[in-house]
Structure 1
Amino acid sequence: MEACSGSARFRLSETQLDFPGQPYSVSVLKVGYCIPQDDGSFRADGTISLVTGPKVILVDTGGPWDQDFLLQSLKDRGLDPGQVQVVVGTHGHSDHIGNLNLFGSALTVVGWDVSDGDRYQPNRLAEGQVFTVDQHVSIIPTPGHTGQDVSVQVTGTSAGTVLIAGDLFECCADEKSWRDLSLNPEMQEVSRQRALVTADVIIPGHGPPFQVVRSR
């Protein structure tokens, strides 16, 4: 557990990767990781999450090396790429958007760009405004890790409000690591504190989901 400005973060069971709900459920298809190597490099892959309900929404696609895994994970759930209606890349790093090419028919959101094929839609993400998918799913600007990070907020799950946060949070206990990876730590700190006020569960970019418990 790690306390943080009136809230506490608790690591959930590593087997708790599904959050059923009405009308939307959230599932973590792959838990991301970041593992330092002896030669100074690190092995990393981003968390891949699926939101199912009135729309099928994929949040982050993993790296190109995840293609077979991703296709099989969708197939296991009775889905093919053409049934995914919205794909969100929380930011433009290769371990988060490496398989966008599989979802050419989906509405695509990467950072502050919203496109349907080659048609880019006006939006106000750059002004700090939410992009609404529907009344239960919103894409929220959460910059800091990069200049145009977004997170996906899903309400009404069994665990409350779930925030699929990309690299806004690296993992549950990331206080010693996230600043070193941040383009703008001050901006990211603001985004993190807002998330800790509104979310009940956060799905980070490189670790399992964790619960947020706020003090009264």
Structure 2
Amino acid sequence: MSAGTERFVGHIAGLGTTSGVRIVIGMWASSPFGAFTDVMVQSAEGTRTLLAPSSSIADYVSGAYSFDVVRVEPLSVSMGEDSLSLDAGPLSVEAELGATTGVGRLLGLIPTAVATHPRWLTAINPVAKVLMPGVRTVGATRDQRRQYYGVTGARLITSARVSWAGDDLGELSSVRPRVRFGFSSVPKKPQVVDVTTIAVVVPSEVSGT
């Protein structure tokens, strides 16, 4: 894509299963591609799979993060007050949502303009590392964009039914080991966060040096 700043606004759901499969669902209401959903799946053995709704989104996401398998699949998702439902090719997720997390309540007190600003996210990155091991609010993507994660709310996932190609993946579990698609994982406790992601092309990429 062209040089500059790219902004994605929506939700990220992270959950694990007792089979060892871990799943990260990006549900974007606003982005350079319009509204879309993509899914990152890491198996118990460590294989990282991207499920994307189009080749252009697959190319963009796989350029920013690391995957062993990339698949273009039809994706549909719905999230209500108490539930999340996803159909993504071979993957099916039916999850129940619970209360706002403690961190989510604190984040809700911060004005969105502050909570999603790169300067704020750079400043709190050391704190995020300590409070939520594996989680980062700022870092570099594989294609050398500077990326910021600004979370403004968080709700627990309390239960989930997850299957792959019809095979049950077990009960809801923590996201451990942490996922390794990029510089940041998701929180250990299964949850859905409200997030603004900002990607900035670094000067060397703009100038071609």
Structure with bigger strand share is: 2
Q: TM-score when scaled to structure 2?
A: 0.29
